[in-house]
Structure 1
Amino acid sequence: MFFKRIFFLFFFLSAVIVYPQDGYILPQTGHWGTITSAQYTADGKYIITASEDNTLILWDAETLDELQVFDWHNDAIVSFALLDDSSTVVSLSKDGMYSITDFKSDSLVATGEVPEGTILQLFKAGDGNSIVLVTDQGELYIFDKDSEEPESAGRLPVTSFITVDYDPVNERFAVASESGEITLFDAGETEPLGVLAQSSKNKFRKLLFSPDGNYVAGISDVAGSGDNSLIYVWDTQTHQIVFSTTAGKGYLEQINFLNSSGTLIYSLSDVKIAAYDLATKTEVFSIKPTGEITALAVSPDDQKVVTAYFDFTLKQWIASKQTIINEFSPSVKKINSVKTDAQGSTYLFSLELADFFIWKNGSEDQNKFLPTWDGNLGAYDLSPSGNFFAFGGTAGNVKIFDTENSIEVSNLSVDATGGVKAIKWYKNDELVAIGAEDNSLVVKNVNTGRVQAVFKGAKTPVSAIDISPDNSMIAAGTIDGTVLVWRINGGSLINEFAAEEPSSILSLAFIDEGKKLISASENGEIIISETENDGQTIIPDFESERVTSLAVSPKGDLIAVASENNPVVVTSPEDTSFIQEIGLPTGQALQVMFSANAEYIFVVHSDGNIYIFNINTGNLIGNLYFFKDGEWAFINPDNEIDCSESAADYLRYIRNNQSFKINLDNFPGYKPGLANLILF
């Protein structure tokens, strides 16, 4: 785990020990990407889930509390296996990297990559302590947690296949070919054991042996039927079909087996979750699910089933009674971006679903949650004084809100049927520049709604706007990579810089007292342009990187660049030999912003929260989380917390994979006002 878990020591404050020593605070945020697989540990105490967000999460199977997050991978996790020691998990990501984790000690035992090919799947071997790797070329490798690297173990006797599964009890493979055949092979043998019967050949995208190896199940796309899907189960001795069902169009199916009997559990998305006894050929139960299931696991004693859903929730239920006993629902409100005013007295956080959180120093109601119910957010900006903000959505209008009272004070009509993509306040609280539908920049008075100026010349929609420090020039970047500069008085076009390769301008800002303009495009080009002549300088360090955000410090002497490749880089636009690299957890920095005093840098991360770093040292200062209904929490590296009253419901104190609810009345690390010390 990365920044979310930072260890510390609690001292005894009274005769009663409320919280064990050597623990950590863990916000219960869950996954932020699709959960692709789940498994119970052999002792049934824990559940492990893997996700497209590049992480594994360890859960308490009794409470579904989140206990640990393992973020060793840099790509989506496609497979993992638990060894028989009940503490080791081996995981595989899409980029071909594997990791071995001891989740009891929270340590990365080993990591590496297979010498050749892309890893298609990994499986636990028959001894329970080794792993079998299969590449997309059919190469086989085997290793255990003490191996320095995987050793070659031959190859499958096929040259082209879609998916594969391994039966550790009988040491054999089931391989689904491109032609639609499923063939059984003994490990190490070239001759097939047989081909599984089908009435018509279908392309199988998933295969799964039963725990005893007596059955193999598969999910296919039915030939010639569009998106229809089919679930088959075969007897591995007779190679005959013993069960089949059609899911219908558009459904995401899941299959698993009970551990102690030949019973298949399968889900047909929002149609049903059912159990079918393959020996007696009877349906054991059938229930209506509560959403689209992305993963399904059965406890070792066959008593419980856990299901994961598209909205990242988990539900655990008793198999025999089909009753839900507990569930986890992500509580975090993902942060999209953050802005502050020139004085650093107001912070405006843009949250998912076009909600806002206003943090205003000196205000009687300092923290305000503002749901707008406007759906998607196109663009927004905070006024220089911090007293107002403007935002535009897909409806093509711009709303003005008062940050002190969180009320709408104006609604500006704009000709932008495709949605407002760029907004910028003038150096006062009266005028706002907006990218319009006809590719022009329209300046409107927020009090009267009247058009004050129109700047034309852009050939594609405006994606970024800035105004020079002396209020004499306005600049715009467009989605084709062009940068234009106008004189505000008179509206004349001063300069135009066309991109060699079209790529949307993400951000731009005047620097050097307005003499220069720095811009960043999606393709990684960061260019410094002379505002009143043709001079341009490309900052070479970021070429070929896909940039996600550019920020300029208040004095213009520093820039911060976030790209798809970690880390965030802070440097000087004039001398890039000075570099402060800020490491991040797996995922992506969506936005970077300097504090008003340029002491801190705020990084909005794809995991939904904000990381705050000291610019000079690169050290983490703390993490800021937002939860449902406007609750928030700030956690620093010493595990001291400041939070709203009900935010403790979304936090747990973890020690030795045990979770404890946090009571702010007696929690030693609760420090009211801590967040204000950082923000203001």
Structure 2
Amino acid sequence: MSFKQIALYPCSPNTVRGTSTKISASKDKVVYANGKTVIIRDLKNAALSTAFSGHAYNTTVARFSPSGFYCASADITGTVKIWDTIGEDQSVKGEYKVLSGKINDLAWDGESKRIIAVGDGREKFGHAFLADSGSSTGQISGHSKVINAVSIRCQRPFRAATASDDNSIVFHQGVPFKYDKTIRTHTKFVQDVQFGPSGDHFASVGSDSKIFLYDGKTGETIAELTDSPHKGTIMSCSWNPDSKSFFTASLDCTVRLWDIETRKSLQAWTVGSGVSHQQVGGVWSGINDLVSLSMSGDLNVFDPRTGDKPTRILQAPQKAITAASPTSSSTFFAGSADGRVLLIDTNSTSPSNAVQLVGGTLHTSLVSGMATASSGKVFTTGYDDQIREIEGFTYTPASIPSLSQPKSVAVASDETVFVAGITSVEAIRNNQRLFELKPSYAPSVVGAGGLVVAVGGEDKRVHVHTWNGNTLTETRVLPESQGTITALAVSSDGALIVQGNSAGKIALYHSQTGEPIPTRWDWHTARISSLAFFPALSSPPTHVVSGSLDTNLYVWSLENISKRVLVKGAGPGGVNCVIWLGDAHVTDGKKTGRVLSAGADGCMRVWEVELPGK
């Protein structure tokens, strides 16, 4: 074992205001799209989630096959990929270009053999094809505008319904699928249409806040559900496995459960208020879990048998992870490009406690830096030009504005916080600015260990300073690098400095003398984004971990410079931050350490890595 992935904490679904987001479920797992990644999220234990990164373009929708063995996912270019959900290698079984534009929805037939893809296109808005060969299995026609949703009756005789921005639903007979009739019950965009598992009925919802029920075999309209209606656009509907009820999710921030026999609203849940709590998607998972999706990316899990609130709320970042810092051997904070900061507990198996959103006043834009002090306080910087402090699980009310846009943050042993901005380096303690350094070069990154503070610059050099509690004094300048210094770490005793640059090269130095330690750590092929010493708190360090834009992670040995471990593809889209979790331990008779990698895809992966040694 050189390495193995032991946990993956996934990102949330991508949401767009005013647009329905499609999510699918199989048993205790839901599947959804975010960026170029498709996530299969475990509702019981977030760490057991998996990610598929086989798309070259941004994904739009993913659907489990009824058998649960395969998943079909689609992207903005009209390409559908069918891949294995059981094996670890997630082998792609088929890849088909079916539309000329973005695909909005997919549907499998009950035999897991046929798929209909719908969306936007120049010559057609939908395509029916066989999953194993891609050959056509009918024609999807009758719409004049983009199709938003599709559903296939699971039983023979097969039927299909498509919902469109032309305010209509088209009912198709199959197989092969062909036009049967146009249903004009809605007066505005039709957002979703779903057949019940029994095939007896299907339901449609739309921007006119209306819900209609139809006969599953003939497509005849049975009724409109008017009891306690939604007050906003209804984005999705999803059926109970027993086909006796279904629930709807709406932009009025409510989720409603409907009974088929009485055509009445059985239960209603209000999730919150405001745009972030608008409900843009939903799926019925298992027997009693109703999962709805908020605009903020939160997955709200309801149980019809209990209460008027979600039984649990599953939170995660929606955007790229841009900063991370450990607080113990099993917990760490992670900050994202939208300003969210989350606390992750790797020991917790509770779906809502493993990942929690930090409370208080958050950054309003990208979190650019994060560092933990020896007292346990965590300091963060953001592109909103604020320096904030986390105590426990919440941001403290106090914050201090930075003098220039902050790029990086580090904490010295006396809990002084050093912030590297685009024009200056600031020293802050107890929310007071103690010192300001205005160098002739543009700072790009800062690192601190003991009372040694190293500042990397766009002049391709690292400037080493000592801190006496009041003033930074430059002691030496390390040799010129091949590119801008983009990552920097100082060992906890201040004895060693490791630097990474924009050319993908890593160099190691003695901080007291400035002498280089020969390493030839030049195996990365793109910008180094993050570096960390191991062990993080004790000295002397024995290993260094590096993460890069080339998506790879390396663990380097300080005891034997030529030894290294490569974790290929540790962060699809690029690794933005790497940190060590805890100390070394023995696994299967081998000395191992745990590394967290996080980056552009918004997912956080924990790796058990065999430590290269003598």
Indicate if the aligned counterparts of 1:602 and 1:611 stay in contact, CA closer than 8 A.
yes
Whole-Å separation in 2 of the counterparts to 1:109 and 1:388: 40
Residue pairs, 1:408-427, within 5 angstroms: 415-416=401-402, 421-425=407-411
**Partner of 1:153: helix, strand, or coil?**
coil
2:552, 2:570 within 8 Å by CA — same for their partners in 1? no
What's the TM-score, normalizing by structure 2?
A: 0.60
Matched, 1:91 2:87: no
Instruction: Look up the SS of the partner of 1:456 in the other structure.
Output: coil
Q: Is 2:23 aligned against 1:37? A: yes
Share of identical aligned residues, percent?
Answer: 12
Structure 1 residue 440: Cα displacement: 1.2
> 1:192 is aligned with what amino acid?
Y
Deviation at 1:441, TM superposition (A): 1.2
Q: Distance between the aligned counterparts of 2:239 and 2:397, measured in 1?
A: 58
8 Å CA contact 1:400–1:411 kept in 2: the answer is no
Aligned equivalents of 2:49, 2:433: Cα separation in 1: 54
**Pick from 542, 545, 555: which aligns with 2:525?**
542
Structure-2 residue corresponding to 1:288: 269
Aligned twin of 2:192: 206
After superposition, the Cα gap between the structure-2 partners of 1:539 and 1:254, relative to the gap in structure 1 and judged at 3 Å, is same
Unaligned runs of 5+ in 2: 14-20, 346-357, 466-471, 515-519, 585-590
How far apart in 1 are the matches of 2:52 and 2:501?
A: 28
Decide which of 580, 602, 605 is 2:595's aligned counterpart: 602
Task: Tell me, in whole angstroms, the C-alpha distance in 2 between the residues paired with 1:581 and 1:113.
Answer: 30
Q: Residue by residue, what CA displacement relative to the aligned partner does 1:626-669 show, whole Å, maximum 9, x if unpaired?
A: xxxxxxxxxxxxxxxxxxxxxxxxxxxxxxxxxxxxxxxxxxxx
Which amino acid counterpart does residue 172 of structure 1 have in structure 2? R
Match of 1:193 among 164, 180, 185: 180
Pick closer, same or farther for the CA change 1:527–1:135 going to 2, 3 Å: farther
The alpha carbon displacement at 1:58 in A equals 6.2
Q: Deviations over 1:538-567 (max 9, x none)?
A: 968433x8x653446799997644357754
Q: What does 1:7-406 correspond to in 2, within 5 Å?
A: 33-34=12-13, 37=23, 39=25, 46-52=27-33, 54-56=38-40, 69=48, 71=50, 73-74=52-53, 78-81=61-64, 83=66, 88-94=68-74, 96-101=80-85, 111-117=92-98, 121-126=105-110, 128=111, 130-134=113-117, 138-143=126-131, 152-153=136-137, 155-157=139-141, 161-163=146-148, 164-168=150-154, 169-177=156-164, 179-187=166-174, 192-198=179-185, 200=187, 202-211=188-197, 213=199, 215-221=201-207, 231-234=211-214, 237=218, 242-243=223-224, 247-249=230-232, 253-257=235-239, 265-268=247-250, 270-275=253-258, 277=260, 282-290=263-271, 294-297=281-284, 304=288, 306-310=290-294, 311-318=298-305, 327-328=311-312, 337-338=324-325, 349-350=332-333, 375=362, 379-381=369-371, 386=374, 391-392=379-380, 396=386
Q: Give the CA deviation at 1:613.
A: 1.6
Residue in 1 that maps onto 2:611: 615
Post-superposition Cα deviations, 1:2-43, rounded to whole Å, max 9, x if no partner, equal 8448xxxxxxxxxxxxxxxxxxxxxxx996524953557xxx
- Structure 1 Cα separation of the partners of residues 189 and 606 of structure 2: 44
Question: Any gaps of 5 or more consecutive residues in structure 1?
Answer: 6-28, 41-45, 60-64, 223-228, 359-370, 618-680
Tell me, yes or no, if the aligned pair for 1:263 and 1:275 is still in contact at 8 Å.
yes
Shift in alpha-carbon separation, 1:198–1:337, aligned structure 2, 3 A? same
Quote the Cα distance in structure 2 between the aligned partners of 1:586 and 1:485.
27
Preserved contact between residue 324 and residue 333 of structure 2 (Cα < 8 Å): yes
Structure 2: how far apart are the matches of 1:333 and 1:442? 29
Q: Deviations over 1:64-100 (max 9, x none)?
A: x5599462623779333454xxx64432234543234
Tell me what 2:419 maps to.
434
8 Å Cα contact 1:165-1:209 kept in structure 2: yes
Structure 2 CA distance for aligned equivalents of residues 440 and 590 of structure 1: 23
Partner deviation per Cα, 1:135-161 (whole Å, 9 max, x = no partner): 766443324xxx6x5555355357974
TM (norm. structure 1) is 0.55
1:430-471 per-position Cα deviation (integer Å, ceiling 9, x unaligned): 8653336x8311346x59967455223466xx5521369995
Distance 1:448 1:120 in 2: 49
- Check the 8 A contact 2:203/2:237 in 1, yes or no: yes
- 2:548 and 2:311 map into 1 onto residues whose CA distance is 36
How far has the Cα of 1:273 moved from its partner?
A: 0.8
Question: 1:55·1:69 contact (CA, 8 Å) conserved in 2?
Answer: no
- Structure 1 residue 283: deviation in Å? 1.7
Amino acid at match of 1:142: L
Question: 2:171 is aligned with what amino acid?
Answer: L
Pick closer, same or farther for the CA change 1:583–1:450 going to 2, 3 Å: closer
Q: 1:528 to 1:564 in 2, by over 3 A?
A: closer
Structure 1 residues 439-518: aligned runs within 5 Å: 439-443=423-427, 446=429, 451-452=434-435, 454-457=437-440, 464-466=445-447, 474-477=454-457, 486=463, 488=465, 507-509=487-489, 518=499
Query: Contact between 1:71 and 1:586, CA under 8 Å: does it hold in 2?
Result: no
**Distance (Å, rounded) in 1 between the aligned partners of 2:41 and 2:496:** 50
How has the CA–CA distance of structure 1 residues 559 and 275 changed in structure 2, closer, same or farther, with 3 Å as cutoff? same
User: Residues 418, 392 of structure 1: CA spacing in aligned structure 2 closer, same or farther, 3 A cutoff?
Assistant: farther
Q: CA RMSD in A?
A: 6.0
**CA distance, structure 2, for counterparts of residue 123 and residue 397 of structure 1:** 47
* Equivalent-residue separation in structure 2 for 1:264 and 1:207 (angstroms): 12
Tell which structure's C-alpha radius of gyration is larger: 1
CA distance in 1, matches of 2:112, 2:329: 55
**How far apart, CA to CA, are the structure 2 residues paired with 1:55 and 1:448?**
40
State whether residues 197 and 239 of structure 1, in contact with CA within 8 Å, keep that contact through their aligned partners in structure 2.
no
How many residues were matched structurally? 509
Does the C-alpha gap of structure 1 residues 422 and 238 become closer, same or farther in structure 2, counting only changes over 3 Å? closer
Residues 287/580 of structure 1: CA separation in 2 closer, same or farther (3 Å cut): same
